[in-house]
Amino acid sequence: MAILILVHPQISHQPFAQSVPLNRNDSLQNERNKLLYSFNSDNPPALSLQEVSAEQVTKALKAARSRDYEIATHQIRKHCKKMRALVRLVQKTNGEAESLYRFENAHYRRIADLLSGSRDAVSLHDALRKQLGDERFPATAALLKSRIDNGDTQEALQQARDLLRQGAQHVDTWDLTGLDRKNLMRGYARSYRRTFKAMEKALPDDDDGRMHTLRKRVKDQWYHTRLLQPLKPKKIGRRRARLKTLASALGDWRDLRLLCAFLASHKQVLSAEAEEELIPLLDAAQQRLAELREVIGRECELLFRHKRWKQQRLCKVPAPD
């Protein structure tokens, strides 16, 4: 049995650019760039894990330098989710991997939480703009847009940058010698099983909390599928497009539900024009929610037909229309 050896993260004083030595030539690098956020099938899993981690932190730091706060916030939170999914994939390998997961998961959750306030406001505005059309409800759109710039984003971004630099140094301390493909496949099977359980709890009554949990589990499955696609292009890779469709539908469903809840609970701050838009807006939202729910049900049926991955992997998943 392979043994996973891991050094508990400590902050290094070496520059991050030198912290993850990668032994590969330019042609391999070019091939690697064609499939972002995925393991290199030519490299040992431990190296791939460290390589992808370094890439995500580097991209988050680059995003943090953007002068567009909305883009910066969205991109940093996205890369934090990818980092958390990455370490969750190997979480149950052994006790050392569990410690790594707990440390890094808490670190990147903290970064994402710093930016959650501004991002939540953006999500509500985006839900209206992208799903219902802000030109149809201009007064409501103006109200939602006014909530985005709360003055705290710049300070939160600075804190996020500091924590990301620490995260970059953490990666240098990872020692995952002994991690093998079997560990990765077991992690994928666990991710599948957790998603199936979340689906069973969420779909019968469309409870907001349970649907949000399902969304998070599906997102993990999608990220894990992207990571492992080069290793299992047929059994795992073929799920990628439909998982993306399902994750997007669940995200849109949640954002629209939050928008409806926000407007219903803030009637007292609506202008006369926004109040006139409220009923037509809620009607349009209900129609859109019904469409999304149909997509969610269809994709869940195709992607999570069986309780365990061992059975599901034998099913052919048709390509999206």
**Considering only the top CATH level, what class is 38-312?**
mainly alpha
Long-range contacts, stretch 25-33, CB < 8 angstroms, 24+ apart: none
**Per-residue pLDDT tens digits for 212-233:** 999 999 999 999 999 999 999 9
Higher model confidence: residue 154 or residue 151? 154
**Per-residue pLDDT tens digits for 255-292:** 999 999 999 999 998 999 999 999 999 999 999 999 99
Residue 141: CA count within 13 A, CB half-sphere: 13
CA–CA dist 290, 286 (Å, integer): 6
**Per-residue pLDDT tens digits for 136-148:** 999 999 999 988 8
Q: Are 204 and 216 in contact (CB under 8 A)?
A: no
Whether residue 174 has pLDDT greater than 90: no
Beta partners for 58?
none
pLDDT score, position 141: 96
CA–CA dist 10, 21 (Å, integer): 18
CA–CA dist 134, 242 (Å, integer): 28
Banded pLDDT at 33 (limits 50, 70, 90): very low
What is the pTM for the complete model shown? 0.87
Q: Are 92 and 182 in contact (CB under 8 A)?
A: no
pLDDT score, position 177: 76
Q: CA quadruple 258, 264, 269, 272: dihedral positive or negative?
A: positive
Beta partners for 177?
5
Average pLDDT on 158-182 reads: 91
Banded pLDDT at 125 (limits 50, 70, 90): very high
pLDDT score, position 67: 87
- What share of the chain has pLDDT > 90, as a percent? 74
Whether residue 17 has pLDDT greater than 70: no
- The structure tokens listed for 271 are 């202008």
Whether residue 247 has pLDDT greater than 90: yes
Which 3-state string (H, E, C) describes 125-186? HHHHHHHHCCCCCHHHHHHHHHCCCCCCHHHHHHHHHHHHHHHHHHHCCCCCECCCHHHHHH
How many C-beta neighbours within 10 Å does residue 151 have?
7
**Per-residue pLDDT tens digits for 61-98:** 999 999 888 899 999 999 999 999 999 999 998 888 89
